[in-house]
């Protein structure tokens, strides 16, 4: 019997791609497509072409350039919601429960890993709820100020995702090279349930 069922593996890799995509959109928003930097470049270059624009106009232009990229944050946001619902349904399968049973037999390290996963799932549910609340604040009858406050929290909690992702990737790479050989390839071909029972 496989440790990770095919649907669980497919879920994991699509989920990883979507989260990396969401982080990618944030990276672009804060760097190459930052309205602050780009509005300055625009007003400077336009001035060189003898076209004066106000700071406000330059800001509008910079945000318009950023817009098509940021739409991906929302599209991937919808994908995240689907993936979280999919993950909940996977809890009813052996693979979905794999990391969350026989807690007493687990080493301290394995317990921490499992709590880490529960932590990231909780964080992602929060990110999805807060993200959609900001996106639909008008429909929900919220004021711009409240939407802005929620955005500040959404942006703060983003740090938890930013910390989890590299820790997780470095963690499985270290495990693969030390005492959990095959941990990464198991998530590709499914692994063997019997081996995983021996490792607990």
The pattern of x and - marking residues 94 through 133 that bind ligand HEM according to CB under 6 A reads: ----xx-------------x---x--x---x--xx--xx-
Cα separation of 139 and 69, whole Å? 23
| Residue among 46 and 86 whose Cβ is closer to ligand HEM | 86
CB of 103 to ligand HEM, least distance (A): 14
Q: Count of H helices and E strands in the chain?
A: 8, 0
Cα separation of 172 and 152, whole Å? 31
Interface with ligand HEM includes 158 (CB under 6 A)? yes
Q: What are the C-alpha distances in Å from 108 to residues 79, 125, 163, 173?
A: 34, 26, 21, 19
Cα separation of 143 and 38, whole Å? 28
Cα separation of 127 and 105, whole Å? 32
| Residue in the shown chain whose Cβ atom is closest to ligand HEM | 131
169, 170, 174, 197: which one binds ligand HEM (CB under 6 A):
169
Interface positions with ligand HEM (CB under 6 A): 12, 15-16, 19-20, 22-23, 26, 29-30, 73-74, 77, 80, 98-99, 113, 117, 120, 124, 127-128, 131-132, 134-135, 151, 154-155, 158, 161, 164-165, 168-169, 172, 183-184, 187
């Amino acid at each position: 019997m496989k440790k990770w069922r095919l649907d669980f593996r497919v879920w994991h890799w699509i989920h990883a791609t979507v989260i990396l995509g969401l982080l990618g959109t944030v990276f672009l928003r804060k760097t190459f497509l930052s309205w602050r930097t780009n509005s300055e470049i625009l007003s400077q270059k336009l001035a060189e072409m003898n076209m004066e624009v106000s700071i406000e106009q330059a800001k509008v232009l910079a945000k318009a350039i950023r817009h098509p990229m940021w739409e991906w944050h929302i599209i991937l946001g919808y994908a995240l919601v689907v993936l979280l619902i999919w993950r909940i349904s996977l809890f009813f399968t052996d693979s979905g429960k794999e990391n969350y049973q026989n807690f007493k037999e687990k080493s301290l390290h394995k317990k921490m890993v499992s709590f880490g996963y529960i932590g990231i799932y909780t964080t992602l549910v929060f990110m999805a709820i807060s993200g959609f609340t900001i996106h639909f604040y008008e429909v929900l009858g919220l004021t711009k100020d409240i939407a802005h406050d929620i955005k500040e929290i959404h942006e703060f909690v983003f740090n938890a995702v930013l910390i989890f992702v590299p820790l997780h990737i470095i963690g499985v790479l270290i495990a693969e090279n030390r005492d959990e050989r095959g941990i990464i390839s198991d998530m590709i071909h499914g692994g063997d349930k019997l081996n995983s029972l021996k490792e607990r």
